[in-house]
Amino acid sequence: MKKDSKIYVAGHRGMVGSAIVRRLQREECVNIIIRTSKELDLRNQREVENFFQEIRPEYVFLAAAKVGGILANNTYRAEFLYDNLMIQSNVIHCAYKYGVKKLLFLGSSCIYPKMSPQPMKEEYLLSGYLESTNEPYAIAKITGIKMCEAYRAQYGCHFVSAMPTNLYGPNDNYDLNHSHVLPALLRKFYEAKINNQPNVVVWGTGKPRRELMHVDDLADASLFLMQHYDGEKFVNMGTGKDISIRELAELIKKIVCYKGELFFDTSKPDGTPRKLLDLSYLYSLGWRHKIELEEGLIHTYEDFLKNQAGKYF
């Protein structure tokens, strides 16, 4: 990939896509191609075909997806399957048809079985039942991995897949019904502090553990793979450390300076008990994360105060 290569970032308005664009800009890439979903509906086969035929991108970061937290995944089960299958099938197939030099497909650590041994190695894919709350999303993402493998095997395409752990950072979704745990708790603790509420509701038992990676680290790892990796095997991406939801809530409480109590609403689902990634393969390729959770959280809270908090008051 050169500075003047035509690089298409699909999903540039999302947290992941926008971080990849920022990272490419830092690399002084001058030919970054972006389209809003209004300009190009990636679920629409004809629109995607026309776009690839006309623009002929050389490199593709496939970060466009319908995403959300545990409640959104469980509620919009049809959309999580349909939108994601359509987006990735259209983009991957057109990348093959119109000669894209390399494509990076981004998935998620929820592809692994619910009761997978920990930490989870890439080889554990399809070795057991999935967690039901996000099964549709996981099935779509597993299909994406298999498409990249199949197009590589049959047509020699340079399509690689990466499976990041739970992500957070600027541009996250703070909608309480749709977001992931970290942005939801940042917002809830902030609102509780401003409104002097005596407690903050945390979903589930607080016992599940999650590995959280700052999206700027993910963008850096994505660029690294685009430049240095061309293997069939997909690559786990994470920090190698996890934390319980209770510990995460305590940490956010400290950063936001909230003085009240935590209340665990056990009528809400816990989801997967643990999903810590094994990063031996990523490390063997020569990449490691740089942003630790507390530091990343402080930056994310600053970004929240600057760009989000005003929307809710």
Where along the sequence are the contacts to ligand GDP (CB under 6 A)? 69-70, 110, 134, 166, 179-181, 184-185, 202-204, 208, 210, 245, 268-272
Query: How many CB atoms lie under 10 A from the CB of residue 310?
Result: 8
Q: Which of 55/243 has CB closer to ligand GDP?
A: 243
- Give the Cα separation of 296 and 241 in Å (integer): 14
Kindly state the smallest distance separating residue 179's Cβ from ligand GDP, in Å: 6
The CA angle 163-302-16, to the nearest 5 degrees, is: 20
- In the residue annotation, 137 being an active-site residue is answered as yes
Least distance in angstroms from the C-beta of 222 to ligand GDP: 20
Closer to ligand GDP by CB, 22 or 274: give it: 274
Q: How far is the CB of 74 from ligand GDP (least distance, A)?
A: 9
Nearest to 172 by CA among 158, 186, 160, 159: 186
Neighbours of 114 (CB within 10 A): 19
The letter for the amino acid at 226 is: M
Residue 155 or 312: the one with the smaller Cβ distance to ligand GDP is 312
Q: Which one, 44 or 244, has the nearer CB to ligand GDP?
A: 244
Q: How far, in Å, CA of 86 to CA of 260, rounded?
A: 45
Beta carbon nearer to ligand GDP, 2 or 254: 254
Shortest Å distance, C-beta 194 to ligand GDP: 17
Nearest to 10, CA basis, from 46, 50, 51 = 51
Catalytic hit among 59, 96, 112, 137:
137
Residues 196/208, Cβ–Cβ less than 8 Å: no
How far CA 292 is from CA of 209, 216, 288, 305, in Å, comes to 16, 11, 11, 20
Catalytic sites, residue numbers:
137
